[in-house]
Amino acid sequence: MIRSSVPANGSSSQKKIRGIQNGWFTETATMWPGQRFSLALKNYDEENSILYHKRSEFQEILIFQSAQYGKVFAIDGILQLTERDVFTFHEMMAHVPLCSHRNPERVLIVGGGDGAILREVCRHPEVTHITLVEIDPMVIEASKECLKIVPPETWDDPRLEIVHQDAAEYVEDPTNHNRFDVILADTLDPLGPAESLFEPEFYEAMHAALRPNGIVCTQGESTWIHLDLVRDLVSCCADIFDTSEYATTSIPSYPCGQIGFILARKGDGSNSRTRGCSVPVRTPAFQKDLKWYNSQMHRAAFVLPQYVKKELNAPDVNLTGRIRNVNEEEEDENGEEDDQCFLRGCTIQ
Protein backbone atom coordinates (compact mmCIF):
# COMPACT_ATOMS: atom_id res chain seq x y z
CA MET A 1 0.00 0.00 0.00
CA ILE A 2 1.36 3.39 -0.99
CA ARG A 3 2.01 5.68 1.99
CA SER A 4 1.95 9.46 2.17
CA SER A 5 2.69 12.23 4.62
CA VAL A 6 -0.96 13.20 5.01
CA PRO A 7 -2.15 12.71 8.61
CA ALA A 8 -4.77 9.98 9.11
CA ASN A 9 -8.37 11.23 9.38
CA GLY A 10 -7.40 14.84 8.87
CA SER A 11 -6.77 17.50 6.28
CA SER A 12 -3.28 17.94 5.00
CA SER A 13 -1.37 20.55 6.95
CA GLN A 14 1.41 20.57 4.39
CA LYS A 15 1.42 22.47 1.13
CA LYS A 16 2.86 19.53 -0.78
CA ILE A 17 0.17 17.22 -2.18
CA ARG A 18 1.04 14.08 -4.07
CA GLY A 19 0.80 14.65 -7.81
CA ILE A 20 0.29 18.42 -7.54
CA GLN A 21 3.04 20.72 -8.76
CA ASN A 22 3.13 24.10 -10.49
CA GLY A 23 -0.63 24.19 -11.03
CA TRP A 24 -0.82 20.69 -12.55
CA PHE A 25 -1.92 17.27 -11.31
CA THR A 26 0.19 14.40 -12.64
CA GLU A 27 -0.61 10.78 -11.89
CA THR A 28 1.98 8.88 -9.90
CA ALA A 29 1.58 5.19 -10.65
CA THR A 30 3.79 2.16 -11.22
CA MET A 31 1.31 0.19 -13.34
CA TRP A 32 1.89 2.21 -16.51
CA PRO A 33 5.63 2.89 -16.62
CA GLY A 34 7.03 5.32 -19.15
CA GLN A 35 3.90 7.46 -19.38
CA ARG A 36 2.00 9.92 -17.22
CA PHE A 37 -1.31 11.73 -17.51
CA SER A 38 -1.59 15.35 -16.36
CA LEU A 39 -4.45 17.81 -15.88
CA ALA A 40 -4.18 21.53 -15.22
CA LEU A 41 -5.86 22.85 -12.10
CA LYS A 42 -8.43 25.58 -12.65
CA ASN A 43 -6.53 28.81 -13.26
CA TYR A 44 -3.39 26.85 -12.26
CA ASP A 45 -4.39 27.84 -8.73
CA GLU A 46 -3.37 25.22 -6.17
CA GLU A 47 -4.68 27.14 -3.19
CA ASN A 48 -8.25 27.51 -4.43
CA SER A 49 -8.58 24.42 -6.64
CA ILE A 50 -8.00 21.78 -3.97
CA LEU A 51 -11.49 20.90 -2.73
CA TYR A 52 -10.68 17.93 -0.50
CA HIS A 53 -7.44 16.37 0.68
CA LYS A 54 -7.35 13.88 3.53
CA ARG A 55 -5.82 10.58 4.42
CA SER A 56 -8.03 7.84 5.76
CA GLU A 57 -6.99 4.66 7.49
CA PHE A 58 -6.58 3.12 4.04
CA GLN A 59 -5.56 5.73 1.47
CA GLU A 60 -4.98 9.33 0.45
CA ILE A 61 -8.04 11.01 -1.05
CA LEU A 62 -7.87 14.08 -3.27
CA ILE A 63 -10.58 16.06 -5.06
CA PHE A 64 -9.68 19.12 -7.09
CA GLN A 65 -11.19 21.45 -9.67
CA SER A 66 -9.48 21.07 -13.02
CA ALA A 67 -9.28 23.52 -15.91
CA GLN A 68 -11.03 21.34 -18.52
CA TYR A 69 -12.32 18.14 -16.88
CA GLY A 70 -14.40 19.55 -14.02
CA LYS A 71 -13.97 17.97 -10.61
CA VAL A 72 -11.35 15.23 -10.44
CA PHE A 73 -11.22 12.42 -7.90
CA ALA A 74 -7.89 10.69 -7.14
CA ILE A 75 -6.83 8.03 -4.65
CA ASP A 76 -3.17 7.57 -3.71
CA GLY A 77 -2.15 9.79 -6.62
CA ILE A 78 -4.11 7.75 -9.19
CA LEU A 79 -7.01 9.36 -11.06
CA GLN A 80 -10.32 7.58 -10.45
CA LEU A 81 -12.79 9.74 -12.36
CA THR A 82 -13.48 13.18 -13.78
CA GLU A 83 -16.78 14.99 -14.22
CA ARG A 84 -16.17 15.31 -17.95
CA ASP A 85 -15.96 11.62 -18.90
CA VAL A 86 -17.25 9.68 -15.88
CA PHE A 87 -20.33 8.46 -17.78
CA THR A 88 -18.38 6.53 -20.40
CA PHE A 89 -17.01 3.99 -17.92
CA HIS A 90 -19.77 3.85 -15.35
CA GLU A 91 -22.72 3.64 -17.74
CA MET A 92 -21.09 0.73 -19.53
CA MET A 93 -20.02 -1.07 -16.36
CA ALA A 94 -23.53 -0.92 -14.95
CA HIS A 95 -25.84 -1.25 -17.94
CA VAL A 96 -24.00 -3.91 -19.97
CA PRO A 97 -24.42 -6.57 -17.24
CA LEU A 98 -27.79 -5.31 -16.00
CA CYS A 99 -29.23 -5.27 -19.53
CA SER A 100 -27.82 -8.77 -20.08
CA HIS A 101 -29.89 -10.14 -17.18
CA ARG A 102 -33.62 -10.63 -17.57
CA ASN A 103 -34.50 -9.92 -13.95
CA PRO A 104 -31.67 -8.32 -11.94
CA GLU A 105 -33.34 -7.94 -8.56
CA ARG A 106 -30.37 -7.99 -6.19
CA VAL A 107 -27.17 -6.12 -7.04
CA LEU A 108 -23.85 -6.00 -5.20
CA ILE A 109 -21.48 -3.07 -5.84
CA VAL A 110 -17.89 -3.67 -4.75
CA GLY A 111 -16.19 -0.33 -4.09
CA GLY A 112 -17.96 2.48 -5.90
CA GLY A 113 -17.94 4.88 -2.96
CA ASP A 114 -17.99 7.82 -5.39
CA GLY A 115 -21.61 6.93 -6.22
CA ALA A 116 -21.26 6.84 -10.01
CA ILE A 117 -22.08 3.14 -10.39
CA LEU A 118 -24.79 3.43 -7.75
CA ARG A 119 -26.53 6.18 -9.71
CA GLU A 120 -26.70 3.96 -12.81
CA VAL A 121 -27.96 0.92 -10.89
CA CYS A 122 -30.68 3.03 -9.25
CA ARG A 123 -32.09 3.83 -12.70
CA HIS A 124 -33.28 0.20 -13.05
CA PRO A 125 -36.74 -0.28 -11.49
CA GLU A 126 -36.26 -4.06 -11.68
CA VAL A 127 -33.60 -3.82 -8.98
CA THR A 128 -35.14 -4.34 -5.54
CA HIS A 129 -32.02 -4.32 -3.34
CA ILE A 130 -28.56 -2.76 -3.72
CA THR A 131 -25.65 -3.59 -1.44
CA LEU A 132 -22.64 -1.26 -1.70
CA VAL A 133 -19.52 -2.62 0.00
CA GLU A 134 -16.97 0.18 0.42
CA ILE A 135 -14.13 -0.46 2.86
CA ASP A 136 -13.36 3.24 3.37
CA PRO A 137 -16.13 5.44 4.83
CA MET A 138 -14.09 8.53 3.97
CA VAL A 139 -14.56 7.89 0.24
CA ILE A 140 -18.32 8.20 0.63
CA GLU A 141 -17.87 11.21 2.93
CA ALA A 142 -15.71 12.98 0.34
CA SER A 143 -18.13 12.09 -2.45
CA LYS A 144 -21.11 13.52 -0.59
CA GLU A 145 -19.35 16.65 0.67
CA CYS A 146 -17.20 17.70 -2.28
CA LEU A 147 -17.38 15.46 -5.35
CA LYS A 148 -21.17 15.57 -5.68
CA ILE A 149 -21.32 13.90 -9.08
CA VAL A 150 -24.60 12.19 -8.22
CA PRO A 151 -27.83 13.72 -6.90
CA PRO A 152 -27.98 13.71 -3.07
CA GLU A 153 -31.13 11.57 -3.13
CA THR A 154 -29.11 8.74 -4.70
CA TRP A 155 -27.62 8.02 -1.27
CA ASP A 156 -31.12 7.95 0.27
CA ASP A 157 -32.57 5.35 -2.10
CA PRO A 158 -34.56 2.94 0.11
CA ARG A 159 -33.14 -0.03 -1.82
CA LEU A 160 -29.59 0.85 -0.76
CA GLU A 161 -27.60 -0.88 1.97
CA ILE A 162 -24.06 0.40 2.65
CA VAL A 163 -21.53 -1.96 4.23
CA HIS A 164 -18.08 -0.80 5.34
CA GLN A 165 -16.09 -4.01 5.12
CA ASP A 166 -13.32 -5.62 3.12
CA ALA A 167 -15.08 -6.78 -0.05
CA ALA A 168 -13.17 -10.05 -0.23
CA GLU A 169 -14.26 -10.95 3.29
CA TYR A 170 -17.84 -9.94 2.50
CA VAL A 171 -18.28 -12.16 -0.55
CA GLU A 172 -16.47 -15.06 1.14
CA ASP A 173 -19.02 -15.03 3.97
CA PRO A 174 -21.27 -18.10 3.47
CA THR A 175 -24.32 -16.05 4.47
CA ASN A 176 -23.85 -14.04 1.25
CA HIS A 177 -23.69 -17.07 -1.04
CA ASN A 178 -26.38 -17.51 -3.69
CA ARG A 179 -27.64 -14.02 -2.92
CA PHE A 180 -27.01 -11.69 -5.89
CA ASP A 181 -28.10 -11.53 -9.51
CA VAL A 182 -25.39 -9.05 -10.57
CA ILE A 183 -22.06 -8.14 -8.96
CA LEU A 184 -20.32 -4.96 -10.14
CA ALA A 185 -16.71 -4.81 -8.97
CA ASP A 186 -15.74 -1.15 -9.39
CA THR A 187 -12.29 -1.79 -7.95
CA LEU A 188 -9.09 0.18 -7.84
CA ASP A 189 -6.07 -1.08 -9.76
CA PRO A 190 -4.40 -4.14 -8.16
CA LEU A 191 -2.26 -2.17 -5.73
CA GLY A 192 -2.34 -1.95 -1.94
CA PRO A 193 -5.71 -2.81 -0.35
CA ALA A 194 -7.24 -3.70 -3.75
CA GLU A 195 -4.73 -6.47 -4.52
CA SER A 196 -6.94 -9.18 -3.01
CA LEU A 197 -9.73 -8.22 -5.43
CA PHE A 198 -7.67 -9.47 -8.38
CA GLU A 199 -6.87 -12.89 -6.97
CA PRO A 200 -8.65 -16.10 -8.04
CA GLU A 201 -10.09 -16.67 -4.59
CA PHE A 202 -12.10 -13.47 -4.95
CA TYR A 203 -13.56 -14.58 -8.28
CA GLU A 204 -14.44 -17.96 -6.80
CA ALA A 205 -16.16 -16.20 -3.90
CA MET A 206 -18.13 -13.98 -6.28
CA HIS A 207 -19.22 -17.08 -8.19
CA ALA A 208 -20.54 -18.54 -4.93
CA ALA A 209 -22.32 -15.27 -4.10
CA LEU A 210 -24.26 -15.29 -7.38
CA ARG A 211 -27.65 -16.80 -7.94
CA PRO A 212 -28.10 -19.11 -10.96
CA ASN A 213 -27.56 -17.16 -14.22
CA GLY A 214 -25.93 -14.35 -12.23
CA ILE A 215 -23.38 -12.02 -13.82
CA VAL A 216 -20.13 -10.54 -12.55
CA CYS A 217 -18.66 -7.42 -14.16
CA THR A 218 -15.24 -6.27 -13.00
CA GLN A 219 -12.87 -3.49 -13.99
CA GLY A 220 -10.67 -5.13 -16.64
CA GLU A 221 -7.67 -2.82 -17.19
CA SER A 222 -6.30 -1.61 -20.56
CA THR A 223 -5.30 -3.89 -23.41
CA TRP A 224 -2.63 -1.39 -24.49
CA ILE A 225 -0.50 -1.85 -21.39
CA HIS A 226 -1.94 -4.77 -19.38
CA LEU A 227 -2.84 -7.33 -22.03
CA ASP A 228 -1.12 -10.13 -20.10
CA LEU A 229 -3.22 -9.34 -17.03
CA VAL A 230 -6.39 -9.12 -19.14
CA ARG A 231 -5.62 -12.51 -20.69
CA ASP A 232 -5.01 -14.08 -17.29
CA LEU A 233 -8.22 -12.68 -15.81
CA VAL A 234 -10.39 -13.75 -18.74
CA SER A 235 -8.87 -17.22 -18.74
CA CYS A 236 -9.17 -17.67 -14.99
CA CYS A 237 -12.83 -16.60 -15.10
CA ALA A 238 -13.42 -19.14 -17.87
CA ASP A 239 -12.29 -21.82 -15.44
CA ILE A 240 -14.65 -20.62 -12.72
CA PHE A 241 -17.75 -19.34 -14.55
CA ASP A 242 -19.78 -20.74 -17.43
CA THR A 243 -18.94 -17.79 -19.69
CA SER A 244 -16.07 -15.32 -19.68
CA GLU A 245 -15.87 -12.30 -21.99
CA TYR A 246 -13.95 -9.05 -22.35
CA ALA A 247 -15.64 -5.79 -23.35
CA THR A 248 -14.10 -2.38 -23.86
CA THR A 249 -14.89 1.31 -23.84
CA SER A 250 -12.99 4.53 -24.39
CA ILE A 251 -12.39 7.14 -21.70
CA PRO A 252 -9.96 10.03 -22.28
CA SER A 253 -8.71 10.39 -18.70
CA TYR A 254 -7.72 6.73 -18.20
CA PRO A 255 -4.34 5.33 -19.30
CA CYS A 256 -4.19 5.07 -23.12
CA GLY A 257 -7.82 6.29 -23.29
CA GLN A 258 -9.19 2.74 -23.03
CA ILE A 259 -10.49 0.52 -20.25
CA GLY A 260 -12.10 -2.89 -20.30
CA PHE A 261 -14.50 -5.07 -18.34
CA ILE A 262 -14.44 -8.75 -17.53
CA LEU A 263 -17.98 -10.13 -17.78
CA ALA A 264 -18.55 -13.65 -16.46
CA ARG A 265 -21.76 -15.58 -15.99
CA LYS A 266 -22.77 -18.40 -13.69
CA GLY A 267 -24.86 -21.16 -15.22
CA ASP A 268 -28.19 -22.44 -13.93
CA GLY A 269 -26.91 -25.91 -13.10
CA SER A 270 -28.47 -27.55 -16.14
CA ASN A 271 -26.73 -28.92 -19.20
CA SER A 272 -28.12 -26.17 -21.41
CA ARG A 273 -25.75 -23.64 -22.91
CA THR A 274 -25.31 -20.48 -20.84
CA ARG A 275 -25.94 -17.20 -22.60
CA GLY A 276 -23.10 -14.68 -22.72
CA CYS A 277 -23.43 -10.92 -22.24
CA SER A 278 -22.62 -9.57 -25.70
CA VAL A 279 -26.27 -9.18 -26.74
CA PRO A 280 -28.66 -7.21 -24.49
CA VAL A 281 -31.90 -8.87 -23.47
CA ARG A 282 -33.51 -5.67 -22.18
CA THR A 283 -33.65 -2.08 -23.40
CA PRO A 284 -33.60 0.51 -20.61
CA ALA A 285 -36.75 2.59 -20.34
CA PHE A 286 -34.53 5.51 -19.30
CA GLN A 287 -32.43 5.45 -22.50
CA LYS A 288 -33.03 9.14 -23.17
CA ASP A 289 -31.37 10.02 -19.86
CA LEU A 290 -28.06 8.31 -20.74
CA LYS A 291 -25.05 9.88 -22.43
CA TRP A 292 -23.12 6.81 -23.64
CA TYR A 293 -24.83 3.46 -23.29
CA ASN A 294 -27.29 2.12 -25.86
CA SER A 295 -27.89 -1.32 -27.36
CA GLN A 296 -25.50 -0.61 -30.25
CA MET A 297 -22.71 0.43 -27.88
CA HIS A 298 -23.44 -2.69 -25.84
CA ARG A 299 -22.82 -4.99 -28.79
CA ALA A 300 -19.88 -2.96 -30.09
CA ALA A 301 -18.08 -3.22 -26.74
CA PHE A 302 -17.41 -6.90 -27.43
CA VAL A 303 -15.89 -6.30 -30.88
CA LEU A 304 -12.16 -6.52 -30.19
CA PRO A 305 -9.10 -5.59 -32.27
CA GLN A 306 -7.37 -8.52 -33.92
CA TYR A 307 -4.28 -8.35 -31.70
CA VAL A 308 -6.50 -8.60 -28.59
CA LYS A 309 -8.57 -11.46 -30.02
CA LYS A 310 -5.39 -13.31 -30.88
CA GLU A 311 -4.01 -12.91 -27.36
CA LEU A 312 -7.27 -13.92 -25.70
CA ASN A 313 -7.88 -16.69 -28.21
CA ALA A 314 -11.30 -15.13 -28.70
CA PRO A 315 -13.67 -16.61 -31.32
CA ASP A 316 -14.68 -14.47 -34.31
CA VAL A 317 -18.14 -14.25 -32.83
CA ASN A 318 -18.76 -14.17 -29.08
CA LEU A 319 -20.30 -17.58 -28.50
CA THR A 320 -22.71 -18.29 -25.70
CA GLY A 321 -21.76 -21.10 -23.40
CA ARG A 322 -18.46 -21.87 -21.74
CA ILE A 323 -15.54 -20.04 -23.35
CA ARG A 324 -12.08 -21.53 -23.07
CA ASN A 325 -9.46 -18.88 -23.66
CA VAL A 326 -5.69 -19.03 -23.41
CA ASN A 327 -5.05 -22.00 -21.15
CA GLU A 328 -7.16 -24.96 -22.20
CA GLU A 329 -7.20 -27.84 -19.75
CA GLU A 330 -4.20 -30.00 -20.38
CA GLU A 331 -3.35 -33.50 -19.30
CA ASP A 332 -0.58 -34.01 -16.80
CA GLU A 333 2.09 -36.66 -17.01
CA ASN A 334 -0.31 -39.26 -15.62
CA GLY A 335 -2.91 -38.47 -18.27
CA GLU A 336 -5.19 -36.68 -15.80
CA GLU A 337 -6.76 -33.29 -16.36
CA ASP A 338 -5.19 -30.40 -14.51
CA ASP A 339 -7.93 -28.61 -12.54
CA GLN A 340 -5.69 -25.87 -11.21
CA CYS A 341 -6.35 -22.29 -12.30
CA PHE A 342 -3.02 -20.89 -13.47
CA LEU A 343 -3.73 -17.55 -11.75
CA ARG A 344 -1.99 -18.16 -8.37
CA GLY A 345 -2.96 -21.82 -8.57
CA CYS A 346 -6.46 -21.63 -7.21
CA THR A 347 -8.38 -24.91 -7.14
CA ILE A 348 -11.47 -24.93 -9.31
CA GLN A 349 -14.32 -26.65 -7.55
Cβ contacts of 144 within 8 Å, gap of 6 or more: 115, 152, 155
221: left (phi over 0), alpha (psi -120 to 50) or beta: left
Which positions ≥6 away from 75 have C-beta within 8 Å? Answer: 59, 60, 61, 62, 139, 188
Helix axes 200-209, 227-240, angle to 10 degrees: 40
- The catalytic residue among 76, 85, 186, 232 is 186
Q: DSSP string covering 181-244, please? A: EEEEEE---SSGGGGGGGSHHHHHHHHHHEEEEEEEEEE---TTT-HHHHHHHHHHHHHHSSEE
3-state secondary structure of 47: helix
Instruction: Examine the residue annotation and report whether 166 is marked as an active-site residue of this protein.
Output: no
Cα gap 288→344, rounded to integer Å: 44
Give the amino acid at 309.
Answer: K
Give the contacts of 146 (CB within 8 A, at least 6 positions apart): 51, 52, 63, 71
Residues annotated catalytic, as ranges:
186
